[in-house]
Amino acid sequence: MVKINSDYTLLRSSYLFSTIAKKVKEYEQANPDANIIRLGIGDVTRPLSPTIIDSLHKAVDEMAAAETFRGYAPDLGYEFLRSAIARNDYELRGCDIAADEIFVSDGAKSDSGNIQEIFSKDCKVAVCDPVYPVYVDTNVMAGRAGTYDETSGKWSNIIYMPCTKETGFLPEIPTETPDLIYLCFPNNPSGSTMTKTRLQEWVDYAVRNKAIIIYDAAYESYISEDDVPHSIYECEGARECAIELRSFSKNAGFTGVRLGFTVIPKTLMVDGVTLHSLWARRHGTKYNGAPYIVQRAGEAVYSEEGKKEIRGLVDYYMNNAAYILNGLKKAGYEVSGGVNAPYIWLKTPKGMTSWEYFDYLLNNASVVGTPGSGFGPSGEGYFRLTAFGDADKTKEAVDRIVNM
């Protein structure tokens, strides 16, 4: 008789965003005239920029002629895109990453979820707490997380690294030594960032302990401060201990277009095996590549015009971030993030829990945010607002919150 993968049954049933959607729907039904402003899910709202749109049109036309039609893409992605990435994201930042160490994909969510497959089931995983839920859930699916404890909100086999006000919303080296360390900076959900010196300490730690860092840099383009590294490969020794994940979703607005990449240096070895060769095998076996049309759009992101336009998109969102941050600060809220990241992390007032504040905000300001506890136990008592909304609506949301 067929059996299911029972590890899937361990997953927590109510996913954060579906609970939010349910609550918002109920509120909408009870208050049909309410003008709800959504600063909850981290999805972009601005349209694709003209240079990207032109490249998409051009690539579509190429698909209409036999001479320029393209079928399956090369396993690792088209050379034109991988070279543009290697030059712009790495060489120009002084990082030693070659085009053939880059694997083009349909986004950082899939890569961050799939990457654990190339590691042993008994690897010990460490995550920041709060955390982007995908890292935890995919390790649950893989049978690596152990059992869930309702009281603590933690999995027995996962090492949680609390990122609290006391730690500056950054992880500290855990007492138990992990094998796989997920780091995401600039951080979702807290918007915190690590300096290069601090990240170097993690790289040194990983090298010393033969651990691997999975570094999710999906929000790299939001970095505004000089001492914040754009890539983990700015740190010495990272080629020996780090995998980096990147996305075109938040810099260029590709959430609905789908494009990302993973970097695995060829020097990254575990037990005499290169992780590059394992991921190449996995990629080649299970994946047939991001669409040609989309890879051309990705290439356009690195053109001079493309870069300017993308800067404009990021600036638009970061103006929102500044408005939220300053508005809430002035109103007496304890807030952080929003400087190198499109997320603002606020302490819930009057000792409310994250979900109590969610309800309070929805009922009194018709504003939707994300309860911090949905990202892990250390997120309790915090709340995330995103800067991805329309500028006028964002201002209105802040004004409503301040005047509540």
Which residues are registered as beta bridge partners of 347? 382
Task: Select 263 or 365, whichever has its Cβ closest to ligand PLP.
Answer: 263
> Which of residues 38, 82, 109, 230 is near ligand PLP by CB under 6 A?
109
> Which of residues 89, 137, 179, 216 is near ligand PLP by CB under 6 A?
216
Task: Select 255 or 348, whichever has its Cβ closest to ligand PLP.
Answer: 255
- Write the interaction track for ligand PLP spanning residues 12-51; mark x where CB under 6 A is met and - where it is not: ------------------------------x---------
Which residue number is nearest to ligand PLP in terms of Cβ?
107
How far is residue 202 from each of residues 172, 226, 274, 384, measured CA to CA in Å?
9, 19, 21, 26
Which residues are registered as beta bridge partners of 7? none
- Write the interaction track for ligand PLP spanning residues 140-169; mark x where CB under 6 A is met and - where it is not: ------------------------------
Residue 255 corresponds to which amino acid?
Answer: T
- Write the interaction track for ligand PLP spanning residues 113-132; mark x where CB under 6 A is met and - where it is not: -------------------x
- Judged by CB under 6 A, how many residues of this single chain contact ligand PLP? 14
Task: Select 115 or 365, whichever has its Cβ closest to ligand PLP.
Answer: 115
Task: Select 260 or 306, whichever has its Cβ closest to ligand PLP.
Answer: 260
Asked if 112 interacts with ligand PLP (CB under 6 A), we say: yes
Strands (E), 110-177: 125-129, 148-149, 154-155, 158-162
Task: Select 286 or 350, whichever has its Cβ closest to ligand PLP.
Answer: 286
Strands (E), 198-333: 212-216, 242-247, 260-263, 269-270, 273-274
SS (H, E, C) 5-25: CHHHHHCCCCCHHHHHHHHHH
Task: Select 216 or 309, whichever has its Cβ closest to ligand PLP.
Answer: 216
Q: How far apart are CA 327 and CA 383, in angstroms?
A: 15
Q: Residue written as tokens 């300490």? A: 201
> Which of residues 51, 138, 200, 247 is near ligand PLP by CB under 6 A?
247
Residues whose CB falls within 8 Å of the CB of residue 25, separated by 6 or more in sequence, listed in order = none
Please give the backbone phi and psi of residue 146, each rounded to the nearest 5 degrees, phi first.
85, -140
Kind plus residue range of the DSSP H or E element containing 284: helix 275-286
Task: Select 255 or 340, whichever has its Cβ closest to ligand PLP.
Answer: 255
Angle (CA) 378-384-389 rounded to 5° is: 165
* Minimum distance of ligand PLP from residue 171's CB (angstroms): 14
- 3-class secondary-structure state, position 187: coil
> Which of residues 218, 294, 344, 385 is near ligand PLP by CB under 6 A?
218
Task: Select 55 or 138, whichever has its Cβ closest to ligand PLP.
Answer: 138
Asked if 361 interacts with ligand PLP (CB under 6 A), we say: no
* Minimum distance of ligand PLP from residue 16's CB (angstroms): 12
Angle (CA) 187-192-193 rounded to 5° is: 85
Residues whose CB falls within 8 Å of the CB of residue 146, separated by 6 or more in sequence, listed in order = 155, 156, 157, 158
* Minimum distance of ligand PLP from residue 317's CB (angstroms): 13
DSSP-derived letter for residue 313 is H
Task: Select 132 or 302, whichever has its Cβ closest to ligand PLP.
Answer: 132
> Which of residues 108, 203, 264, 313 is near ligand PLP by CB under 6 A?
108
Q: How far apart are CA 328 and CA 343, in angstroms?
A: 13
Task: Select 133 or 265, whichever has its Cβ closest to ligand PLP.
Answer: 133
Q: How far apart are CA 135 and CA 339, in angstroms?
A: 24
Q: How far apart are CA 264 and CA 180, in angstroms?
A: 14
Please give the backbone phi and psi of residue 7, each rounded to the nearest 5 degrees, phi first.
-60, -30
Taking CB under 6 A as the binding criterion, the range among 101-109, 120-128, 283-291, 294-302 that sits at the site for ligand PLP is: 101-109
Task: Select 184 or 398, whichever has its Cβ closest to ligand PLP.
Answer: 184
- Write the interaction track for ligand PLP spanning residues 70-99; mark x where CB under 6 A is met and - where it is not: ------------------------------
Site for ligand PLP in 184-203 (CB under 6 A): 184, 188
Site for ligand PLP in 310-339 (CB under 6 A): none
Give the residues lining the site for ligand PLP (CB under 6 A): 42, 107-109, 112, 132, 184, 188, 216, 218, 247, 249, 255, 260
